[in-house]
């Protein structure tokens, strides 16, 4: 069948970012208040249109920097720096997801340690960290839609839920939980990451035994700290393992 341009109307490609961090022992996502139509004044995930000369990863990194002032690197590129962890999440292409035109979004997941207050930029009026539970179940004063869900613009509630589940699943079998930690951290600080991401309380002794007994997960940093109060705690760094064997399975709630 010959190619017929009229059968394939033009469409745009965007990137949307699920940016997660742990703040005050809670898993938080970055949201921006839209300064332009559509959905002007509504909260949304940061993101924007892909430029003609950009690949998707470059567009995601640019949008993250423009709208928040944060930097990120692609974990698939060795030596890319020590910015936030950035990986592609999923593609969303419902024809009606954007009222302006047909828009396909390639969502990315960004993970980073406790981050400072973001700055808004681009077409965002303001930016803030919000607890994931607040965004996904509409608690905490966020505007709600007719179904009672947090009224994030576009299909961003679905994208956020998918990103949170990706993070929760990946820290079971990979060392990705260390992406939420500073370069040197204690076992207690790592445990609080797991507790925040999974939303459960973990037994400190069992957790310590598992993470220190998993080959390649953690390596001693050669020092101690009292920043959490109490007795000095040993500092660790992320080891070379990317996959955990045995995995850190989520407790059943």
- Between residues 230 and 186, which one has the greater pLDDT? 186
CATH number (domain holding residue 34): 3.90.79.10
> For residue 1, what pLDDT is reported?
62
Judged on CB neighbours under 10 Å (0-12, 13-18, 19+), 121 is middle
Rounded-to-integer distance, Cα 37 and Cα 191, Å: 42
> For residue 116, what pLDDT is reported?
65
Residue 199 lies in a domain: yes
CATH number (domain holding residue 211): 1.10.10.10
> For residue 84, what pLDDT is reported?
76
Rounded-to-integer distance, Cα 169 and Cα 248, Å: 10
pLDDT at 73 over 70: no
pLDDT at 172 over 50: yes
pLDDT at 5 over 80: no
User: DSSP state, 45?
Assistant: -
Rounded-to-integer distance, Cα 198 and Cα 167, Å: 9
Asked if 164 and 179 sit in the same domain, the reply is no
The three-state secondary structure class of 189 is: helix
Asked if 36 and 140 sit in the same domain, the reply is yes
Mark which of 130, 154, 170 sits at the end of a domain.
170
Least confident of 22-31, 120-129, 230-239: 120-129
Domain enclosing residue 186, as ranges: 174-238
| CA distances to 103, 117, 189 from 56, in Å | 14, 26, 33
> For residue 144, what pLDDT is reported?
61
User: DSSP state, 89?
Assistant: E
Asked if 97 and 211 sit in the same domain, the reply is no
Asked if 146 and 195 sit in the same domain, the reply is no
Asked if 114 and 192 sit in the same domain, the reply is no
Q: What is the mean pLDDT of residues 227-244?
A: 89
Asked if 159 and 46 sit in the same domain, the reply is yes
* CB 108 within 8 Å of CB 89: yes
Rounded-to-integer distance, Cα 154 and Cα 54, Å: 23
> For residue 200, what pLDDT is reported?
94
Asked if 97 and 222 sit in the same domain, the reply is no
- For the chain, the domain total comes to 2
Residue 245 lies in a domain: no
pLDDT at 143 over 80: no
CA dihedral 147, 12, 60, 160 (to 10 degrees): 10
Reported as a pLDDT band with limits 50, 70 and 90, residue 79 is: very low
Residue 244 lies in a domain: no
Reported as a pLDDT band with limits 50, 70 and 90, residue 81 is: very low
Rounded-to-integer distance, Cα 226 and Cα 222, Å: 14
Asked if 181 and 118 sit in the same domain, the reply is no
pLDDT at 27 over 90: yes
Q: What is the mean pLDDT of residues 3-7?
A: 73
Asked if 179 and 161 sit in the same domain, the reply is no
Asked if 150 and 234 sit in the same domain, the reply is no
User: DSSP state, 117?
Assistant: P
Least confident of 3-12, 107-116, 127-136, 146-155: 146-155
Asked if 147 and 179 sit in the same domain, the reply is no
The pLDDT tens digits of the residues spanning 174-218 come to 999 999 999 999 999 999 999 999 999 999 999 999 999 999 999
pLDDT at 229 over 80: no
The pLDDT tens digits of the residues spanning 105-121 come to 999 999 988 776 666 66
Mark which of 122, 137, 170 sits at the end of a domain.
170
- The helix (run of H) or strand (run of E) holding residue 163 is helix 156-173
């Amino acid at each position: 069948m010959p190619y017929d341009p009229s059968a394939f109307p033009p469409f745009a490609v965007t990137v949307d970012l699920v940016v997660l961090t742990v703040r005050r022992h809670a898993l938080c996502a970055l949201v921006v208040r839209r300064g332009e139509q559509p959905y002007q004044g509504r909260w949304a995930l940061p993101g924007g249109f892909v430029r003609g000369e950009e690949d998707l990863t470059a567009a995601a990194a640019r949008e993250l920097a423009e709208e928040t002032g944060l930097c990120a690197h692609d974990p698939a590129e060795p030596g890319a720096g020590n910015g936030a962890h950035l990986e592609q999440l999923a593609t969303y292409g419902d024809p009606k997801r954007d009222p302006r035109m047909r828009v396909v979004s390639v969502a990315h997941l960004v993970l980073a340690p406790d981050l400072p207050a973001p700055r808004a930029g681009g077409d965002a009026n303001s930016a803030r960290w919000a607890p994931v539970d607040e965004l996904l179940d509409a608690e905490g004063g966020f505007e709600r839609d007719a179904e009672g869900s947090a009224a994030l613009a576009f299909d961003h509630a679905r994208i956020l839920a998918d990103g949170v589940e990706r993070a929760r699943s990946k820290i079971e079998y990979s060392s990705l939980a260390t992406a939420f930690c500073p370069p040197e951290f204690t076992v207690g600080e790592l445990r609080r990451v797991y507790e925040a991401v999974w939303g459960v309380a973990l037994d400190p002794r069992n957790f310590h035994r598992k993470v220190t007994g998993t080959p390649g997960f953690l390596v001693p940093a050669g020092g101690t700290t009292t920043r959490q109060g109490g007795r000095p705690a040993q500092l660790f760094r992320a080891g070379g393992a990317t996959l955990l064997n045995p995995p850190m399975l989520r407790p059943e709630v």
